[in-house]
Each structure stands twice: as structure tokens, then as C-alpha cells.
Amino acid sequence: MTATDLPMPDLRTGTELVPSIAEGETQTGKDFSSDQEVRWCPGCGDYAVLKAVQGFLPDLGLRRENIVFVSGIGCSSRFPYYLDTYGMHSIHGRAPSIATGLATAREDLSVWVVTGDGDALSIGGNHLIHALRRNVNMTILLFNNRIYGLTKGQYSPTSEPGKITKSTPMGSLDHPFNPVSLALGAEATFVARTIDSDRLHLTSVLSAAAAHRGTSLVEIYQNCPIFNDGAFDAIKDRDTKDDAIIPLVHGEPIVFGTGGGKGLVRERETGAIKVVEVGTDAGQVAVGDLLVHDAHDPDPSTAFAISRLTAADYLHQAPIGIFRQVTRPTYDDQARAQITSATQAAPGAVDERLTSLIHGGDTWTVA
Amino acid sequence: MAKQVKQLDRVIIRFAGDSGDGMQLTGDRFTSESAVFGNDLMTLPNFPAEIRAPQGTIPGVSSFQVHFADHDILTAGDAPDVLVAMNPAALKANVGDLPAGATIIVDTHDFTKRNLDKAGYDVNPLDLLGDANDALGSFSVHPVDLTGMTVEAVKEFGLSRKDAARAKNMFALGLLSWMYGRPTEGTESFLSRRFAKVPDIRDANLTAFKTGWNFGETTETFVVQYEIKPAKMPPGTYRNITGNLALAYGLIAGGVRSGLPVFLGSYPITPASDILHELSKHKAFGVTTLQAEDEIAGVGAAIGASFGGSLGVTTTSGPGIALKGEAIGLAVMTELPLVVVNVQRGGPSTGLPTKTEQSDLLQAMFGRNGEAPVPIVAPQSPGDCFSAAVEAARIAVTYRTPVMLLSDGYLANGSEPWRIPELDDLPLIDPAFAVPADDGAEFRPYDRDPSTLARAWAPPGVAGLEHRIGGLEKADGTGNISYDPANHDLMVRTRQAKVDRIAESLPPLEVDDPSGHAKVLVLGWGSTYGPIGAGCRRVRKAGYDVAQVHLRHLNPFPKDLGDILRRYDKVLVPEMNLGQLSMLVRARYLVDAQGYNQVRGLPLKAADLAEAIGHLVAEAEGIDVDLSAATTEEV
């Protein structure tokens, strides 16, 4: 088999081909709210994300009719009903494949996928990794509450081992996925993590994700007050969050902990990422020697190593921010480019070309 | 020497050899030569699922049967008049299908101890020719060292012995082309094109082909040349075409006639992959093909594209349909156009990937959760796959529904002369996209066209038509989520009524009842059209009456089907399954339809069908039926 050289990466932003609102026109969050009553449980983290998204969409300056939200099945997948854009609430796990078809067929749309840990990582795991490797221009919001909500409280593929649920009365035996590690392993071009309750951070990550041309995966830690309440307390509680959250800022040394007392270094011998004390005393590491976060590194190894600092059991530690943001040609741009070049190379009216096609080479005529 | 020329009205030739011997190509070329010559023809390729099954074994045998005639024919023929066998396994695997008096041309080169063992021959059957215990005694056997002569003929090109021997199929083709007076220019230019980059191989194949021809002309082994005059066909321009190719062209035509870009989401599967391959070549028609990560993603992407205003298509075979079921249900619920192509193969499970069957009709009809009616369209011959695909696109777009297009392995790989249609004769398909109301009234995505019951189709990008759809039950009109019992009942009935409404757009059925006195009706669908038609012809030739109706639309049934069925005393439904259409018509029309069912992975045989029809005619008319005058003759 032979291969052909494909075009260079497209440096346009994720929304460059999507029509913008006219100059002078304004949009507000209200324009993006549909008339449907929101039906999540009181206290659900989904409310905060919905509010943030409704508040943030006007900032994109895109025409509302060119925005599409596609979801699968689960609590978070009700999301599209509450946004006055185009939307499809599809079937369990398949939203990435539906969005792939839509985004490939229509370059003028801003396509968003809303999914959960069960939808994206269990039943739809295959579609997720293939969307990421194809790098279709869309943004995937993965609401991770580490539990099955809509089916009423079974463990999910991100639940901690040993979790007692209705389907695991003696404790879950499953080893959990780390969604960020999984996405990096699938060579996703944009991988980030944020928290439902931190609107500022959530909005900044969503802005960067929307601007990225290619598949953006944003894991959003989201509390389920009914079936998994408190799962993210360590990273939300005023007293513990400074030690639990490892903030990632591109180009900055990775520092966390109360007063910036902790940091990350890469061990020379093993390549592993280690948490160290920051300072000038013996046994401490100077700020200048800490690992500087490089989200643009073409090699995902360091980003992957950082993602491994996420606690697999109770979430007492988690890096938050943009792990990786690199440029690679997108599937949909290239698919459309092939069609454009084939069409340009075939002049003539379509009817004539079709007639010629179906005649083929060897015909004979019966009078 | 002067050769005798004998006139024939039809011949069935089967080329058989090892999987790697190039028998499909040989048959294909012979078919093209015959098509260009003007014979009517039908072909039946038959090959193992393994790409290279163990060499020299019976499971590794690949064959290609072509039936060509000076009159219109309906099938690839029940039994070959001529068998070309390239090795002992090919002889052993096919000899049982030959009628007494058939001609066998056999390549003696591979009749070695080792290959005879592999084929399960204790003694070389060629050694016994003419003996008292000659197993081939009832045939006219011509042992020829095809391989040896090929290797000798292409010596000058300095190929390895293996490469030289590989041209033996072209030697055989040349010999058969001489024998039946086929035009050779097409094959010569084909070989020149195909091997343009490897001049040695090209020249070896051309030389083998010509040497085969010359051998026929000069050898004393073959003393008769046959002539089969061109068939009288309806006026028009013709080409030879396989079902998968015609189906791919039909999908492109569906896009052109609707003005919609075609979007294919597909996962490779035998015997449907060739449609994916073909459509991938036609990006210049705006056709997007996505080879998905699995069957579900293939249909998912097609649904996404349909939501975006494309003609979404997914192609697969039965096992793939099983996986796509939930997504097809989503397309039923969201009422989006979608063409689902099932090139049926032997089942269940992985079944017989390269063999044909019609056993997915009930799957197409009922294979989803809930009341999820899906229209079903079936082509009846390879060339007919074109217009069946256009029809599937018409229904999908007009009625906003997934449509199941049921081809099968026999249609997919079989070929026939196809009268190329004029584009203007194909239906114009109107996508009738929704437009915002002049008075600014809120858009209601589930408002319906009163005549078709089709809902409004509003791809994203139009201000004022923003809406959300999905798999949850929809409120009538608004399309909002609704759990209201009365609304669900209404919507279930409405989706069914919409599919039923398609029958209003169908032409009356064609009843083939030449005498008008038949008491027996044969009802079929799909690729059994040819064998059923041939069976009916035999019965009629013997002087009896029988009527034939063939269904293109399996769901909904044409409106006049019930009346037609009731006009006949007996209804016979031949199918390559255990009685799926007969179950549907019995349930629907309360008629005592009787099945004729075979699931051998092969097309039904005209002779068997004639006999089954004859039995029923005897019963219905209270007479003795004697078909002996007609059954020996292929029609």
C-alpha cells in the first residue's frame, strides 16, 4: 500500500469558518436559554456548567443557528434541550460519531458534544478515542461525576476501586479510567480538566477549547449530590483545595499547595513526575528547577506523566488546566479538501458527469 | 485445419480453480467479451471467504459461472455445459453440478500425487479416462496441459516459473474465447491497462491469451467452434454491471437527483465493502465516505450528516444491521432521511460471508426495539440495484425516514447487461427544507406535510429554526420531550401511518399472467426474480398456466397486493430463507401462501422451482403436470 502526503496543519481557529454575528449585534446568555424547564436534581453540578456555558456562548460571537450541541444518554446529556441552539439528544455513547458526521458534512457549524463518564468512557469508549485520534473539529465536554446518575447509582468507569454501590454491594472491582490519560493516550490534540464550581476557570478552558481547531476534550469534575455527593470535596473545600489542585498554566513552573509550597519535578533517572517541597532549604527544590508546563509539546509523554498525579481513589489530588494543546490537521478539513480538489479536477455539469460515469468504458447500443 | 461451426442458443460455462488462480478475473473478462458481443447474460461468482484458502484444497476452490445466450435469460443457469477446471480440487468440487454430456476442459499440470491427495482423489481420474471404471465417462473430457503450454509460450519474457505459470488463466480465457467466437480487443486493452507498469507481466498475459486462442484454432483436441448470436434486446445503450457497482451509482444518482451531498458512514464487511470502495472514488460528486471505527459509528456519522442536510447512507451486511439497530431506531424517532444498505449473506452470526441468502427480511422489518417501522426496498437483479437505490433515496428524503435497501450476495457480485437509464427518467427528489414562517411564528419541527406525513427537515444554519431533536418521545408538533400517554399513542400511530402512506406513491404491481387463466401465483422478492421467472417460463413452455408477481417494496406492501393474492387459488413464495415473506403475507392478508425455501448459500434453481410450481398447478387444477418437455431446457 502506498501513502500520500497530506496537507500541512490548518492554523485557523476552531470557529473560523462559523459565521459571526453582525457588527453591532449583541447576544446575551438569555438568547441561548431554551423555553424548556431544566430538570436536574437540586444541587446538581450540571446547573453550574449550563449557566457557565450559556454565559460564555455569547462571548464566542457566533451566530446562534450555527451552533449545535450533540449529546448521548445520561443526566448531562439533557444539556442540548436547555440551549436555544440546534441540538440532538442522541443514543447512549454515540454522540461523538454523530458529531463526526455532522462536523465533517458542515464546516460552518460549531459542534459541541456533551457526555458523561458512563456515556463517553463505557458504552461510547470506542467512539471517543476514535474521535480524538481523527481530530474532528469539535469540543467534547465530558461531565465526570464518577457515578451513574440516570440509572440511579451504579459505579462508573471512573469510580474509585472498592466503591460500594447498588451493583457492587461488596465493593467495585473495576480499575478506573483516568479520562485525561486516556485522551492523551489516544493522541488528542487538546486535553483539559476543569471543575463545575469554578466558573472562571471553566469559562477560560471552554474558550481555549472552542478556539482549538480539532477535537478538544474537556473533563469537567461535576458533583452528583444524590448518588456521589462529596466526591470532589477535597478539591473544592477551602481548607484542602490548595493542596489538592495542581494548577497547570502553560509556560509557568508547576507550583501548588498552601503558599506555593509544593511543586513538580521530573526525575532524571526514571522520567517520572514527583511532588517536591519548594524552597531553598535542604531537601527542597528551587522554583527555577521546577517543571515548566509546556502544553504545546508535540510529545505527549510529560502531559501523560502529569495526568498520572490524579488520585485514582478518593480525589485528594488532581492536576487542573490544559494538559495539551497542539496543532494537527483535522479529519474534517482534510475530507472536505479532498472533495474540493476532486470537484475542481472534474469540470462539467454534474448531470453530464453522472451520465458519463454510469456509461463506463464498454457500452454497446441496440437499435 | 477447417473447424466445424455449430450454432447454439445458449451456453453456461463455469471457470473453476484455486483461489489464487484468477478465476474471478477470467470469468469477468469472458463476461465483458460476451456483453460487448451482444449476448444476454447472467453471472454467478462463487468464492471462499478466505483470501487465500489452503492451496489445492476443496475449500480453496473459487469459481465463476457465466450463462450467455441469443435470447433474454433470467438466471446464471442451474448446471454448467462447460467446466474449466484448473486443478484436481476444482474438478472434484464442481463435477457433481454437471449434467451428462457436459464438456470438461482440465489443466493436467496440477494433477500430481500431492494435489490429488489434497483434493481427496485416491487415483487420478484422468488416468481412468475411457476405462470401464471411468468416473468421468458421461462427460466429454479434454485434458490439456494449460500451465505447461503457458510457461512455454511466455518463456521469452524471462519471468520466474511461478509468474509465468500465473498467466495460465489468460491461456484458458484465450482458448474459451476462440471456442465461442468472443471478440478479444476488450481483453487485450484491459491487460495492457492493468499491467501497464509491469511490461513483462503485461506481455506474458497478452501472449498467453493469444496463444490460448491460437491453440484452439490449431489443435485437433477441439474440432468444433460454437456460435451464439447476439440477443434481441430492447433498444438502448447497454453495459455490463454488477449489483454493488449499480447500487453505488444509484446512491450517487440519488444525491444528484435530490441536490443533496451523499455522506456514507460505513465499516468494511463482506459482501458490501465494494460499495464503500466505489463511493470513495467519487468525491467529485460531493460524496463523502467515512470508514468508521465500527458499524455503529458508521450509521451514527450518517445520521449526523443527515441532521446537517446531507443524504446519509450506511452500507453493511446482516451482522452490521444487528449492531446498527439502535441507531436506526434513532433515525425513526428523529425522522431523518437515511439509506441503510444490507447486502445480505448467509447467517446467523458470521454465517457464510461470501454466500447469498435472503434471511434478513424480518430483521429489516422488526429488528429494532419499540414500534419502529422502516420502509424496505429490494432490487431484483444486478442492474436493478441502480434504480432500487434511487427509490430508497426518494423514500428516505421525501418521507424523512430510514429506508432499508435489501440487496444480497448474489446480486452484489453477479452481473448482467444493463440498459443505462436516461437521468431525466429518474425521479426528482425534493428535500423541501423547512423555511422560517413569514409571521415569525415559532418553528415546530414535528409539524407534518398532510399528504406524506413527513415532518419538517431543518438542518442547522437557518436563524429562527433552532430546535432540538432526539431519541426521547416527541410531542406532536413541537417536538419537545413528552411522556404524555395519549401523545405517545398518537406518535406511534403517526410514525406507522407515515410509512404506510408511502404505498400511495407506488405504481400498481405488474402481474405476469400471460394467459390470464392461471390459478397459481408465484410471489417473490429480491434476487430470486431470475430463477422464479425462469421456473415460470418452463412451466408455461410445457403448456401450463402460472402467474408471477415480484415485489420491489416489502414495507409498506403495494396497495393492490392483497387483492392480487386473493385472485389466485394457490400462492407459492420461493425464498432463500425459511419463509419470511410468506409469514408476512400470511399474517397480513390471511392467504394460505406456501413457501418454497432453500438456504444453501446459492441462488435457487429454475428446474427445482419449475417442479415446485408444477406440483401446485397440478393440485390447483386437478390435472397431471408433466414438465419433462421443458425442464431440460434452460430459459
Q: Mean pLDDT throughout A176-182?
A: 98
Share of chain A above pLDDT 70, in %: 98
The answer on A122 and A262 residing in a single domain is no
Of A34, A101, A106, the CB nearest to B301: A101
Share of chain B above pLDDT 70, in %: 99
> Taking CB atoms and an 8 Å cutoff, what residues of chain B touch A85?
466
Quote the cell numbers at residue B567.
385472485
Would you say residue B632 has pLDDT above 60? no
The answer on A304 and A285 residing in a single domain is no
- For residue A363, the model assigns a pLDDT of 87
- For residue A121, the model assigns a pLDDT of 98
> Taking CB atoms and an 8 Å cutoff, what residues of chain B touch A86?
460, 466-468
- How many Å apart are CA A81 and CA B468, to the nearest integer? 6
End-of-domain residue from the set A242, A271, A292: A292
Q: Mean pLDDT throughout A237-258?
A: 96
- Please provide residue B95's backbone torsions phi and psi, each rounded to the nearest 5 degrees: -60, -30
A55 part of a folded domain: yes
Q: Is B523 left (phi over 0), alpha (psi -120 to 50) or beta?
A: beta
Residues 313-342 of chain B whose Cβ lies under 8 A from any Cβ of chain A: 326-327, 329-330, 334
A36 part of a folded domain: yes
Answer for the pair B344, B317: CB distance below 8 angstroms, yes or no: yes
A28 part of a folded domain: yes
> Taking CB atoms and an 8 Å cutoff, what residues of chain B touch A102?
304-305, 307-308, 460
3-state secondary structure of A21: coil
Angle, helices A125-134 vs B295-307, to 10°: value is 70
Angle, helices B384-399 vs B243-258, to 10°: value is 40
A80 part of a folded domain: yes
Answer for the pair B249, B203: CB distance below 8 angstroms, yes or no: no
- How many Å apart are CA A144 and CA A156, to the nearest integer? 9
Q: Mean pLDDT throughout B479-502?
A: 98
Structural domain boundaries enclosing A41? 3-251+293-334
Name the residue among B406, B402, B273, B394 with its Cα closest to residue B326: B402
- For residue A53, the model assigns a pLDDT of 96
DSSP track, B46-85: E--SSTTPSTTSSTTEEEEEEEEESS---SS-SS-SEEEE
Name the residue among B342, B424, B431, B419 with its Cα closest to residue B386: B419
Say whether residue B463 is in contact with chain A using an 8 A CB cutoff: yes
Answer for the pair B389, B357: CB distance below 8 angstroms, yes or no: no
Quote the cell numbers at residue B392.
430508497
CB pairs < 8 Å spanning A and B? 205
Tell me the shortest Cα–Cα distance from B110 to chain A, in angstroms: 32
- For residue B164, the model assigns a pLDDT of 95
- For residue B51, the model assigns a pLDDT of 78
End-of-domain residue from the set A263, A292, A321: A292
- For residue B629, the model assigns a pLDDT of 72
The answer on A244 and A307 residing in a single domain is yes
Residues 31-70 of chain A whose Cβ lies under 8 A from any Cβ of chain B: 34, 36, 63-68, 70
Would you say residue B633 has pLDDT above 60? no
> Taking CB atoms and an 8 Å cutoff, what residues of chain B touch A130?
292-293, 297
Mean pLDDT of chain B: 95
Quote the cell numbers at residue B218.
490449431
The answer on A12 and A88 residing in a single domain is yes
> Taking CB atoms and an 8 Å cutoff, what residues of chain B touch A84?
466
- For residue B628, the model assigns a pLDDT of 85
A343 part of a folded domain: no
In this complex, do B470 and A89 lie within 8 Å of one another by their Cβ atoms? yes
Q: Which residue of A has its CA nearest to B245?
A: A358
**Band (B220; pLDDT cuts 50, 70, 90):** confident
A360 part of a folded domain: no
- For residue A82, the model assigns a pLDDT of 96
Q: Which residues are within 8 A (CB) of B205 and not within 5 positions of it... i.e. 6 or more apart? A: B167, B170, B191, B195
Q: Which of B468, B469, B481 to mutate to test the interface with A (most CBs of A within 10 A)?
A: B468
> Taking CB atoms and an 8 Å cutoff, what residues of chain A touch B240?
362
The H helix count followed by the E strand count for chain B is: 21, 22
The answer on A266 and A185 residing in a single domain is no
- Total number of domains in chain A: 2
Would you say residue A72 has pLDDT above 70? yes
Q: What separation in angstroms does the CA of B32 have from each of A103, B171, B193, B620?
A: 42, 17, 15, 44
Check if the interface score ipTM surpasses 0.90: yes
Task: Considering only residues A128 and B635, tell me which one the structure prediction assigns the higher pLDDT.
Answer: A128
The answer on A302 and A283 residing in a single domain is no
The answer on A286 and A152 residing in a single domain is no
Q: Which residue of B has its CA nearest to A331?
A: B290
- For residue B368, the model assigns a pLDDT of 98
Residues 256-315 of chain B whose Cβ lies under 8 A from any Cβ of chain A: 256, 261, 263, 265, 282-288, 290, 292-294, 296-298, 300-310, 312
Quote the cell numbers at residue B294.
465500527
Name the residue among A305, A133, A108 with its Cα closest to residue A217: A133
* Length of chain A counted residue by residue: 367
Cα angle value B308/A188/B290 (rounded, 5°): 40
Name the residue among B441, B462, B306 with its Cα closest to residue A64: B462
Answer for the pair B367, B322: CB distance below 8 angstroms, yes or no: yes
- How many Å apart are CA A176 and CA B70, to the nearest integer? 70
In this complex, do A86 and B326 lie within 8 Å of one another by their Cβ atoms? no
- How many Å apart are CA B151 and CA B166, to the nearest integer? 9
Q: Which amino acid is at B191?
A: L
Cα angle value B202/B204/B209 (rounded, 5°): 95
Quote the cell numbers at residue A316.
485528594
A340 part of a folded domain: no
Say whether residue A335 is in contact with chain B using an 8 A CB cutoff: yes
- How many Å apart are CA B372 and CA B333, to the nearest integer? 8
- Enter the DSSP assignment of B572: E
Quote the cell numbers at residue A306.
502529569
- Please provide residue B297's backbone torsions phi and psi, each rounded to the nearest 5 degrees: -65, -35
> Taking CB atoms and an 8 Å cutoff, what residues of chain A touch B283?
338-339, 342-343
Q: Which residues are within 8 A (CB) of B551 and not within 5 positions of it... i.e. 6 or more apart? A: B378, B509, B523, B524, B525, B557, B558, B561, B581
Would you say residue A1 has pLDDT above 60? no
**Band (B223; pLDDT cuts 50, 70, 90):** confident
- For residue A10, the model assigns a pLDDT of 59
Say whether residue B626 is in contact with chain A using an 8 A CB cutoff: no
Neighbours of B174 (CB within 10 A): 27
Q: Mean pLDDT throughout B428-435?
A: 98
- How many Å apart are CA B118 and CA B380, to the nearest integer? 39
- How many Å apart are CA A90 and CA A84, to the nearest integer? 17
Say whether residue B237 is in contact with chain A using an 8 A CB cutoff: yes
Q: Which residues are within 8 A (CB) of A289 and not within 5 positions of it... i.e. 6 or more apart? A: A265
HSE at residue B272, side-chain half, CA atoms within 13 A, is: 27
Q: Is B43 left (phi over 0), alpha (psi -120 to 50) or beta?
A: beta
Share of chain B above pLDDT 90, in %: 94
Tell me the shortest Cα–Cα distance from B144 to chain A, in angstroms: 32
The answer on A259 and A171 residing in a single domain is no
Mean pLDDT of chain A: 95
Q: Mean pLDDT throughout B150-165?
A: 94
A365 part of a folded domain: no
Over residues B66-118, the pLDDT tens digits come to 999 999 999 999 999 999 999 999 999 999 999 999 999 999 999 999 999 99
The answer on A211 and A120 residing in a single domain is yes
Q: Which residues are within 8 A (CB) of A322 and not within 5 positions of it... i.e. 6 or more apart? A: A190, A191, A192, A205, A208, A248, A250, A295
The answer on A314 and A280 residing in a single domain is no
pTM of the entire predicted model: 0.94
Q: Which of B188, B466, B469 to mutate to test the interface with A (most CBs of A within 10 A)?
A: B466
**Band (B14; pLDDT cuts 50, 70, 90):** very high
CATH number at residue A188: 3.40.50.970
End-of-domain residue from the set A292, A314, A348: A292
Of A64, A126, A351, the CB nearest to B256: A351
- Enter the DSSP assignment of B625: -
In this complex, do B305 and A89 lie within 8 Å of one another by their Cβ atoms? no
The answer on A201 and A285 residing in a single domain is no
The answer on A231 and A86 residing in a single domain is yes
Of A86, A91, A126, the CB nearest to B467: A86
